[in-house]
Chain A
Amino acid sequence: MAVAPPQSVAEVASLVKRLYQPGNATIIVQIQDQLQLLQRSGEGWQLADALLGDNDINVRFFGALTFTVKLNNDGASLDEATSQHILQRLVSWFVRLVNATDKPLVIRKLCSTLVTFFTRVPFAWKRPLLHLICAFSVGPETLEDVEAITTSTEELLQGLSTHQYVALLWFTASLADELTKMEYSGPKHARLHVQMEGEIGDAVALMRFAMSGQSNGPSVALHCFSTWATYAQPMWPGKPDALACLQGLLPDAMNLLMSEKSEGDALTVFIDLLESYTSFFDAQNLDRLAQFLGEVEGPRLQTHLAEEGASHHGAGPFVIAYGIAVLQDIIERPDHPRSQVTMPLLLSMLRGFGYPGDDDELSGLTIEFWNTYTETVTDLCFSEEDPSELNTPWVIHARQVSHEVVDSLWKKLYTPPGSITKDWGDSEKEGFATFRADTTDLFSSMYVFLREDMLTRLINLAVEALREKSWRALEASIFSLNAIADNVLEDQSSDRHLTSLFQSGGLYHEMGDFTQKIPVQVRKTAIDMIGNYGAYMERHAEALPDALRFLFASLATPSFTTASAKSISSLCYTCRHSLTGELDGFLAQYQNYLVSPTCEPYGKEKVIGAIAAIAQALSPESTKVRPLAAMLDNVEKDIAYAKEQMAGGDAEMGQITGVAALQCLASIGRALQVPDDVPINLYDDDDTPAGQRNFWQTTEEGQSIQQRIIGCFSILEVLGNDGEVVDAACEVIRTGFTETVPGPFVLPPSVTVSFLQQCTISTPQVEAVLHTADLLIVQHSRSDSIRIPSEITAVFNHTVGLLLSLGQPSTDPGIAQSGIDILVRLFPTYVAVLLSATEDILTQILNFTLLAIEAAEPLPKRSALEFWSRLLRTASPTNASDEATMCSRIVDAFGQAVASSFIRQVSGQANRSELDYVSAPLRVLVTLPRSKQWLEAPLWAVAQPDEVKNRFLLQVVGLRGGVKTRDVVREFWVGCRGL
């Protein structure tokens, strides 16, 4: 039942109360509509005034809100007398409700209403803050001319209660907050900003008074101070007087740092100011803060670190913010008192006991500082043109400090023993992992400054830990080395340092000895290290046997399977050329793994891919047949087993086995792709016999391998209705698409076509199959590829069948989008395929794309718009081909419908985010001869003034497809939407 319009203030109040109570959403919306109607009505002022006197807090809030709505809507057109009357009512309510100690919800809303009055009404509200102060002192009604008052603001404030000056602080903060959002430049708000300069004196007097007050006064005053500083930062860089007035409050605010009650709020404000507005502090203020740190907060923090470790302490973030604010001094003037006070505290925060993420909250926070420190030091060093400057005392000091940081963080990276982690929840684990990740980034930056010194230090720590079998120290060292791996490997001269760790009988010899009880995390990090230092191993094949022996042995341990499979893959991909001799051994190891209890799909896929990568490095192609056949044996066994499971009624396991088998096959396919960085022999084409280049399609051995790969798709006969299987099969086919030379996975196009032809709209993941067909068209559209019109025709016919069987694009937007994408890809190479369709089919498919443009689903709409862009472009009179002529005929037949569809979109049907997509085909359409005529008819039906429509048409046609059409379309759309 619809909500009836209220007939009295009491009924309005009742509706407001219902609005703020939980209830039926539809009714709430209706109530809101009724109330909004009243708020916008002419009686809104009186209603707002009446509601503010209600007993209910929500109704009073709504009263203040109604004043705000009225001011926003009608404030700019008020005459002076009315505006003065409204101001009088607002001030009167403000005083009355504050004196009645009303709830902050209402008072704050009223503050915001007063600020809206200040900003919206065209007549200046002179000295608003003083006006309100006087209204409390002498009463709102008796006040006539605020500027005639001779009593100082400070004196007037003396007589105010805490409630009164806190309310004034809320108003003052709200004023600064609102004005921060208004541009300084430009005449619109210039008057208000000039007034703000005049307000700062009263605002500072009020804040100073409140900072020395009781209750929550200092805390609210600090917040107000922070808000004014935020206002001043962009607005007053050229207003030194106003700024100095505000800066004059800093000593008062600093005093609050030493007040037990306000310390927390004061620290927050100072941290914020130091972080975001450093220049607000002059040298004297910064020195006062250093003194405060040195004498008060520093000793407190040191005691806290000694007694309670690096657990949270408010001074920690303050030291960090201060450190960043005076960073230049800290770096370049290590003897300066600011540096002397700050640096020991920052280093101490890294040395407090406790584990990051658990009882150590400070070391993680300091990383932000050390990142900034390192970046600045590096920048300064790199900007020095004279190398001798790199040995200046400050650089030497910075290196020394950085080494201390590395050592401290290295100790913090130690993984805690099980006795500690057993009590850890997700948040502690996540916190510790985040700390380690942040340290990784920091180490990576520090390496740029410390270079070899850092590498040798970490290697020494690792070697020493290895010798002493101090496993956690070893783990922290190799974790740190992993962090800098990319940087280290860029410089081959670092290899000599790494040898001591990777040499035969070194780290991986120890790790591979599974009779030793080594913590799991140590071996995991060691496994990661192999992946990270693959390039080193590629250059030092002597390091490979220990590493690979360790990795294959790790496959048998459940907690290492995934990581070691990943590292085997990474190592084999990187060092494929050094490992060709090991291929048979690896195949044998893989067979062992397949029968081990830790064998799982991810590991199988990764390891078989790794072996295939080595096979890829074999030459000539014929030598790849044997290992490939061995790998296919495994895949085929899995396929057969999946079929057996399905036949035996175990559909779930059958599906898992089938998907895994196809994923292994895809993994082999990916690994066999020719790497991008392979050297090109310019004479290769002349030297390599043609037969060898086409080995996989012309020789019996090659064809046999391809037939076996294609044979694996037989799994679709039993699992064709499973989306994951369909996806995996598509993945296998796609692995050959990127290849530019024949290979075992470069399958004939007919394989893709026949796969698609087996699909209906009810086939799961049919979008993936359509996407694969889409890629086939793209691959065979390249200038150097073979044209396959008959296969593309088959793809087109089946796609059209799928689209038409959908009926509407909204039936399945995914299929609709993928299908239309295939139509898009036909341009320009295979446009003849589209044009060869019968008139009936063509009409149906074009109508389908028009439906997609009209539909609510964004993705088919975008594809359809792209399709029409291409079709219209092909029909352009500048094209002289047969296809152009035929497209032109299509456009003649569909031009009116297409133009109508575009106009519906630009006149409000499309969403804002779709406008660029709609503009694209429209820009092409207007280049065609009859476009103006097509656009006119639907445009006149749009409910907009004639001059707007005329202007739009003239602009769009006049721009002749120029980029600015987008702006014209956007402007017209905004008008049509009424925005």
Chain B
Amino acid sequence: MAAANQTYYELYRATSIGNALADSLDTLISQRRIEPQLAMRVLQNFDQAMASVIGDKVKARLQFKGHLDTYRFCDEVWTFIIKDVNFKCDQTTTVLAERVKIVACQSKEKA
């Protein structure tokens, strides 16, 4: 229930779909079709929907292995920099990356 009121991270606004949404909202505001407050509310709903969809609906998973180069935990946000990472997607595809940065936030507010 509190999920409806919870504040959500704005991480996903920087994704392609988040950028596209923000661009569309900007256009609607510029054309005076919506108020900026509504756009803000839409973006908040987007944050919530992304968190909930990625948490509940996305079933895809991958495993990865690499060398942990740097890690830090600041303001409830974990940051990991991993080198020579080997991703295994559903046991079928393997993707190699020289450097990967993982930013991980609490999925639920902890008291």
Contact = CB atoms under 8 A, between A and B. Distances in A.
Given A528-B91, A531-B91, A275 B108 contact: yes
B26 A979 contact: yes
A176 B1 CA distance: 13
Contacts of B70: none
A486 B111 contact: no
Contacts of B110: 276, 278
Contacts of B29: 977-979
Contacts of A979: 26, 29-30, 36
B65 interface: yes
Contacts of B19: 911-913
Interface residues of A, number: 40
B3 A911 contact: no
Contacts of B6: 230, 276
Interface string A507-533: 000000000000000000000100100
Contacts of B20: 913
A908 B31 CA distance: 12
Contact of A911 (B7, B23, B36, B96): B23
Nearest to A278: B111
B110 to A, nearest CB: 7
Given A226-B1, A486-B63, A486-B65, A913 B7 contact: no
Nearest to A979: B29
A977 B26 contact: yes
B28 to A, nearest CB: 11
B2 interface: yes
A180 to B, nearest CB: 5
B22 interface: yes
B109 A912 contact: no
A667 to B, nearest CB: 14
Nearest to B4: A177
B31 to A, nearest CB: 10
Nearest to A562: B92
Contacts of A278: 110-111
Interface in B55-81: 59, 61, 63, 65
Interface in A175-228: 176-177, 180-181, 223, 226-227
Interface in B10-42: 19-20, 22-23, 26-27, 29-30, 33, 35-37
A793 interface: no
Contact of A277 (B4, B59, B96, B109): B109
Interface in A251-283: 268-269, 272-273, 275-280
A566 B23 CA distance: 43
Contacts of A181: 7, 44
22 contacts: A180-B7, A181-B44, A226-B2, A227-B2, A229-B2, A233-B109, A234-B7, A234-B109, A272-B2, A276-B6, A276-B108, A276-B111, A277-B2, A277-B111, A437-B59, A486-B63, A531-B91, A566-B92, A908-B30, A912-B26, A913-B20, A977-B30
Given A177-B5, A268-B1, A277-B109, 20 more contacts: A177-B4, A180-B7, A181-B7, A223-B1, A227-B5, A230-B2, A230-B6, A234-B7, A234-B109, A269-B1, A272-B1, A272-B3, A273-B2, A279-B111, A531-B91, A911-B19, A913-B19, A913-B22, A978-B30, A979-B30
Interface of B: 1-7, 19-20, 22-23, 26-27, 29-30, 33, 35-37, 44, 59, 61, 63, 65, 91-92, 96, 108-111
